[in-house]
Structure 1
Amino acid sequence: MEQHNLLPLLTVNEIEISYRNKIPYQERIPVTHSATAYRILRATWDETKLELLEQFKILLLDRQNHCLAISDIATGGMAACIVDPKVVFVTALKANAAGIILAHNHPSANLQPSPQDLALTRKLFLSGKLLDIAVLDHLIVTDRGYYSFVDEGCMPC
């Protein structure tokens, strides 16, 4: 009778990790410049939200910096967006990404990074180092242009 009461304690979920990329390597877009990342982001960004709500996305890249996918990480309000690093890196790990490019928009169209943008970039950069996932750049996206942390010398070392 006591053994029957232990069964719920011994029941656990199993986790299986699998990965399959449906896009052939030859069709993946190489991302070697911030301008290429910006074009990919702008082509996929919801135009109705670009100047309304702050959103955070990541480009997932393979070892040769070919784009595997783009993922929406968080949507906030008009002035802020809360980004959970766990969501960023679980997404990158699930996609088997070797590197990521961070991106978010400023609904105000101001391209200058805020102190919060700089702090988040540093936090994600250091987290990526721990997981061996390179955080290659962070773009601030608007409908008129972009700001690249790498191009402007603002990426952590």
Structure 2
Amino acid sequence: VASLCGLGPRALAEMSGQLPALPASAFCQIGLRSVDAYEKHMIRELGLEVYDMRAIDELGMREVMRRALADLGPDDHLHLSFDVDFLDPEIAPGTGTPVRGGPNYREAQLCMEMIADTGRLGSLDIVELNPALDLRNQTAELVVDLVQSLFGQSTLVRP
């Protein structure tokens, strides 16, 4: 995120051909819970839109997602960088950086369904999935479920 906002090593920050590649207002981070002092400083300095786990606890996942997606325009390209360590390690043990207190299965499903509902998803990357640390493919199978929801397979039955 810092490099895309024009910070960090110049060669990396200028890879897009423009500096910054994207304004900080183009980013929204959801589910943060283990942030070091420098990261906190950069979040404040860049003015990033962040919903940590306390915000999710206080507002609920639906409201957090509603706010996060509220400014999407009809022609906006939504990129989701899905860090598997966003999920609680009780449901997703197959990550190299497990931190307790993350979203549960239903909260994660709601995130994906609400993103799918926008019709704006243009790209996706999935990171922090470590099969060597997974238990009987529990995390990998969960990620497949979530990606299916992201592409429109709803867990709900609605008219």
TM-score under structure 2 length normalisation: 0.35
**Could you say which structure has the greater relative contact order, defined with CA pairs below 8 angstroms and 6 or more residues apart?**
1
* Higher helix proportion: 2
The structure with the largest strand share of the pair is: 1
Instruction: Using structure 1 for the length normalisation, give the TM-score.
Output: 0.35
